[in-house]
Chains A and B, each alone.
Chain A
Amino acid sequence: MDKFFSMGGYAPFIWSSYGIGIGGLVVLAVISVRTLRARERELQFIGTRQKKNVINNTESCQGEGTIHES
């Protein structure tokens, strides 16, 4: 096993290459997925707020209608 990890004396070069390579792939994947989730959450939040605004607006219009009728 020691022979495998020492990589014929080139261990620092080989393991740092694999570490940087695989580490880089993982880091970009995590950043990309987290950004996607954050944007989807924001979109959901905006959607909910817009629905609330439409309901409030409709209610206030109905209220105005009642005042005019009386």
Chain B
Amino acid sequence: MHFFTKLALRHARALLWWSSALTLVLLVIGLVWGLFFSPADYQQGEMVRILYIHAPAAWMGLFAYTVMAVASAASLMGKYPLADIVAKASSPVGALFTIICLVTGALWGKPMWGAYWVWDARLTSMLILLFLYLGHIALVNAFDDYGRGARAGAILALIGFINIPIIKFSVDWWNTLHQPASITRVALPAMAMEMLLPLLVMGLAFKAYYVTLLLVRIQSEMAAVQVRASRLTQNNWTQNNRRENGR
């Protein structure tokens, strides 16, 4: 992991450029395909187009939390100094994906179910995911000591990880208003190819966006760590100088 970390840091700028370009290209292709060329659904009509924003946001909400939990576990093991930074960088992006998923889901629910919100297992567990993200963001920034904040955040992220399989399987375990998964690993997708392909392109676009923002925010957090260290050195240096001058 150290090797990959060093490699990623050395080529961070180039990686950032490529991932930004990929995000833009995939997003434009996915949006044009989803809005102009994919067919309307035989039951839901044009309303089905919300799928191309809603489902990728939901996938990435779960993915970003998984990355955060893995980084938190690595951080608690104490071997990877960058793990804290990865977890801290991941949570605001994951929170955004979860908010997009919940809001677009509500806008999809009103005309299709007759309600913006129902307390079914999928929706409720997704709302808990948002609270976990917000709790993590608040907790890591709540301490003056960076290390203590990171440790508290890591413990929260690991405890909250139990929610991820609950979200994933909620539609199978409980009788929910939300439909079961259309794309699974064990069966062929229950969706027409004309809809599946733009959905996958949008999924890749959201993933490329996540990688891009993770790189930006990791660099930003590293700069913040350097700023804090420099300020501390500066303060110590000024205090020592004052003491020497006082003598």
Contacts and interface: CB of A to CB of B under 8 A. Distances in A.
Contact of B227 (A16, A24, A39): A39
Given A14-B47, A28-B92, A46 B234 contact: yes
B46 A8 contact: yes
What bracket does the count of chain A residues touching chain B fall in? 20 to 34
Contact of A36 (B46, B96, B219, B231): B219
B197 to A, nearest CB: 19
Interface in B191-227: 209, 212-213, 216-217, 219-220, 223-224, 226-227
Chain A's interface: helix, strand, loop or mixed, by majority? helix
Contact of B103 (A20, A25, A50): A20
Interface stretch (B104-112, B119-127, B171-179): B104-112
Interface in B1-58: 27, 31, 35-36, 40, 45-47, 49-50, 53-54, 57
B143 interface: no
Interface size band for B: 35 or more
B216 A32 contact: yes
A55 interface: no
A10 B46 contact: yes
A19 B110 CA distance: 17
B104 A53 contact: no
B131 interface: no
Interface string A47-58: 101100100010
Contact of A42 (B49, B108, B227): B227
A13 B107 contact: yes
A57 to B, nearest CB: 8
Contacts of B236: none
Nearest to B57: A21
A67 B213 CA distance: 57
Q: Which of A4, A16, A20, A36 has the most CB of B within 10 A?
A: A36
Interface in A20-45: 20-22, 24-25, 28-29, 32-33, 35-36, 39-40, 42-43
B103 A17 contact: yes
Interface of B: 27, 31, 35-36, 40, 45-47, 49-50, 53-54, 57, 92-93, 96, 99-100, 103-104, 107-108, 110-111, 209, 212-213, 216-217, 219-220, 223-224, 226-227, 230-231, 233-234, 237, 241
Given A28-B213, A47-B230, 4 more contacts: A14-B50, A17-B104, A29-B209, A32-B216
13 contacts: A10-B111, A13-B50, A20-B104, A21-B57, A25-B209, A29-B213, A32-B217, A36-B223, A39-B223, A43-B226, A46-B230, A50-B233, A53-B237
